[in-house]
């Protein structure tokens, strides 16, 4: 005890540490504030260690402590937002940033971000233009809508539409569609925040047209239809179709808004995926306004796309919330480039990463695994057994909840390392590697692995097993 107390006196002072050779050299490349903070934190940790009877006694030599500080500086200097190699097999992992962008989108971002752009400037007329014009025509062409606008995300799109169309009155929603997505998007809360009174109709599993019809009164401003994108109610269910709702709403001269969630632009059933309504189908049924996300199955940047009848879109654009939710130029550049690919659906399937991953066949995945297996085995050496297993990927991001994408993955069974330790070490690599554990194996799903990232994945695996 007294030994440890005495050692406290020998902890190097911050100024002495900063004057050490290691840190003097480091000053040339790293900001002084980072080094100073790291030195303070390191000394604090060492002090705690000395006070803890159970902890080993640390090396308190000046240069040894300076090296600890340098290691801490290296950690602090890493960007907080950084790259992750996703081998989870979940395509639209919200925690991992949802959709990776296509290369056209990346180029468009670079071109627009590097200098000035015609974001709100009409180059033909030489006067002020409007930012949404860059995508409006494309969205209309791809969906059959009359007019379109875009905001920050789909949650914003729904809020804006509700606020602009309700005028403080009420909106009717089926009890079967009062969804929660990702914990913070809850229809009742979004409606309250938009100043709309929620009128619930029907039951959890069945809502009929007459339920809507009976609820309409002079306070009804609109009908909201919500796509139950992250769950299904099975068994005895009944929901009212878009056509029926549109007809009812027309009789009462109120609009119908549909929150489609993912907003498919092309039918994905040929790839074995469950049937989902496309934006075009929703609009064709007579729905006035459809909203959807840019970064779900569309495979673009985070955005909320709103498309529908011109008079309704005009109302939204004039609402003050439209300005608060406006989309930035980088997003707009990426969105336009992504949408352009959809003009040729074949091209979109090949070049939009989300669509490409969705449509990868089991045979292709088997082949990727066969190529990767010997490389991974070589990287991990005798530290783990590796083999190819059957694996099911999921879409994620609250889209197509029941869709199972059959495939293959490489399963790792580490010999002397717990799976928890393995995943923790992989997460601390740069880029970090995030995979999934299944049946006591660590799975590497090639479906979500970008070919360009393979070398770094192998490097990370080699590193974590030789630590
Ligand atoms: C995902 C989703 C949202 C939220 O969209 P964001 O783009 O994440 O804001 C809203 N409604 C439905 C039905 C969804 O699936």
Chain segment 366-417, per-residue pLDDT in tens: 999 999 999 999 999 999 999 999 999 999 887 887 788 999 999 999 999 9
- Ligand 1 mutation target, pool 177, 188, 229, 287, most atoms within 8 A of CB: 229
C-alpha of residue 107 to centroid of ligand 1, in Å: 27
The pTM score is 0.93
335, 289: one domain: yes
252, 107: one domain: yes
Q: How far is residue 440's CA from residue 385's CA, in Å, rounded to a whole number?
A: 12
Whether 331 lines ligand 1, by a CB cut-off of 6 Å, is: no
Query: Contact 175/147 with Cβ under 8 angstroms?
Result: no
C-alpha of residue 331 to centroid of ligand 1, in Å: 17
Chain segment 269-316, per-residue pLDDT in tens: 998 888 888 999 999 999 999 999 999 999 999 999 999 999 999 999
Could you tell me whether strands 197-201 and 170-174 are parallel, antiparallel, or unpaired per DSSP bridges?
Answer: parallel
Closest CA to 315 of 131, 121, 147: 147
263, 151: one domain: yes
pLDDT at 2: 65
266, 373: one domain: no
pLDDT at 232: 82
343, 386: one domain: no
Whether 293 lines ligand 1, by a CB cut-off of 6 Å, is: yes
89, 119: one domain: no
pLDDT at 404: 87
pLDDT at 17: 96
pLDDT at 263: 86
Those residues with Cβ within 8 angstroms of residue 25's Cβ, 6 or more apart along the chain or in another chain: none
Whether 259 lines ligand 1, by a CB cut-off of 6 Å, is: yes
Could you tell me whether strands 147-151 and 170-174 are parallel, antiparallel, or unpaired per DSSP bridges?
Answer: unpaired
The domain that holds 258 is classified in CATH as: 3.40.640.10
Whether 207 lines ligand 1, by a CB cut-off of 6 Å, is: no
DSSP state string for 368-404: HHHHHHHHHHHHHGGGEEEEEEEEEEB-BTTBSTT--
Q: What is the mean pLDDT of each run of 10 residues along the chain (467 residues)?
A: 82 96 97 97 96 92 96 94 97 94 98 97 96 96 98 97 95 95 88 95 96 97 92 88 96 97 91 89 97 96 98 97 97 98 97 96 97 97 96 87 91 96 96 96 97 96 92
278, 318: one domain: yes
Note the Cα 174 to chain centre separation in Å: 28
C-alpha of residue 262 to centroid of ligand 1, in Å: 7
Q: Whose CA is nearest to atom 12 of ligand 1?
A: 261
- Tokens representing 345 are 């659906």
H or E, element range at 52 = none
Q: Whose CA is nearest to atom 11 of ligand 1?
A: 261
Q: How far is residue 420's CA from residue 422's CA, in Å, rounded to a whole number?
A: 5
Whether 98 lines ligand 1, by a CB cut-off of 6 Å, is: no
pLDDT at 100: 97
pLDDT at 136: 98
Tell me how many domains the chain contains: 3
Cis peptide, bond prior to residue 177, ω within 30 of zero: no
- Tokens representing 293 are 């996300």
261, 372: one domain: no
Of 351, 368, 394, the one marking the end of a domain is: 351
Residue range of the domain that includes 66: 2-77
- Ligand 1 mutation target, pool 158, 398, 400, 403, most atoms within 8 A of CB: 398
The domain that holds 372 is classified in CATH as: 3.90.1150.110
Whether 265 lines ligand 1, by a CB cut-off of 6 Å, is: no
Q: What is the signed CA dihedral for 423, 427, 433, 438, rounded to 10 degrees?
A: 20
362, 344: one domain: no
113, 90: one domain: no
Whether 290 lines ligand 1, by a CB cut-off of 6 Å, is: no
pLDDT at 229: 81
Whether 225 lines ligand 1, by a CB cut-off of 6 Å, is: no
Of 309, 331, 351, the one marking the end of a domain is: 351
17, 68: one domain: yes
């Amino acid at each position: 005890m007294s030994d440890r107390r005495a050692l406290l006196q020998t902890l190097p002072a911050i100024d002495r540490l900063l004057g050490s050779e290691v840190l003097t050299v480091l000053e040339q490349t790293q900001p002084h504030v980072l080094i100073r903070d790291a030195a303070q934190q390191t000394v604090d940790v060492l002090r705690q260690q000395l006070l803890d009877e159970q902890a080993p006694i640390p090396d308190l030599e000046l240069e040894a402590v300076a090296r600890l500080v340098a290691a801490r500086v290296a950690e602090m200097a890493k960007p907080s937002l950084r790259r992750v190699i996703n081998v989870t097999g979940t395509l639209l992992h919200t925690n991992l940033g949802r959709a990776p962008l296509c290369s056209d989108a990346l180029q468009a971002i670079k071109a627009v971000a590097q200098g000035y752009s015609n974001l709100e400037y009409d180059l033909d007329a030489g006067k002020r233009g409007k930012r949404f014009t860059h995508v409006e025509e494309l969205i209309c062409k791809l969906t059959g809508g009359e007019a379109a606008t875009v905001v920050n995300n789909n949650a914003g799109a729904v809020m804006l539409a509700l606020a602009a169309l309700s005028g403080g009155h009420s909106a009717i929603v089926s009890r079967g569609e009062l969804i929660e997505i990702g914990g913070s998007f809850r229809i009742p809360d979004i409606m309250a925040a938009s100043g709309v009174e929620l009128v619930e109709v029907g039951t959890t599993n069945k809502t009929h047209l007459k339920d809507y019809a009976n609820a309409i009164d002079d306070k009804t401003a609109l009908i909201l239809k919500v796509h139950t994108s992250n769950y299904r109610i099975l068994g005895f269910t009944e929901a009212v179709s878009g056509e029926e709702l549109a007809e009812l709403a027309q009789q009462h001269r109120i609009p119908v808004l549909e929150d489609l969630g993912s907003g498919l632009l092309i039918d994905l059933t040929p790839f074995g995926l469950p049937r989902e309504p496309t934006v075009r189908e929703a609009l064709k049924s007579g729905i006035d306004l459809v909203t959807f996300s840019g970064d779900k199955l569309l495979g673009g940047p985070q955005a909320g796309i709103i498309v529908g009848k011109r008079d309704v879109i005009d109302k939204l654009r004039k609402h003050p919330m439209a300005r608060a939710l406006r989309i930035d130029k980088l997003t707009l550049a990426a969105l336009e480039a992504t949408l352009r690919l959809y003009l040729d659906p074949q091209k979109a399937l090949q070049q939009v990463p989300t669509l490409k991953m969705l449509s990868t066949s089991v045979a292709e995945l088997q082949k990727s695994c066969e190529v990767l297996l010997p490389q991974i085995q070589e990287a991990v050496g005798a530290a783990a057994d590796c083999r190819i297993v059957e694996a099911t990927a999921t879409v994620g991001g609250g889209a197509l909840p029941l869709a199972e994408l059959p495939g293959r993955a490489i399963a790792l069974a580490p010999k002397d390392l717990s799976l928890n330790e393995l995943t923790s070490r992989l997460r601390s690599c740069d880029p970090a590697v995030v995979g999934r554990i299944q049946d006591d194996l660590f799975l590497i799903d090639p479906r979500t692995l970008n070919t360009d990232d393979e070398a770094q994945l192998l490097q990370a695996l080699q590193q974590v097993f030789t630590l």
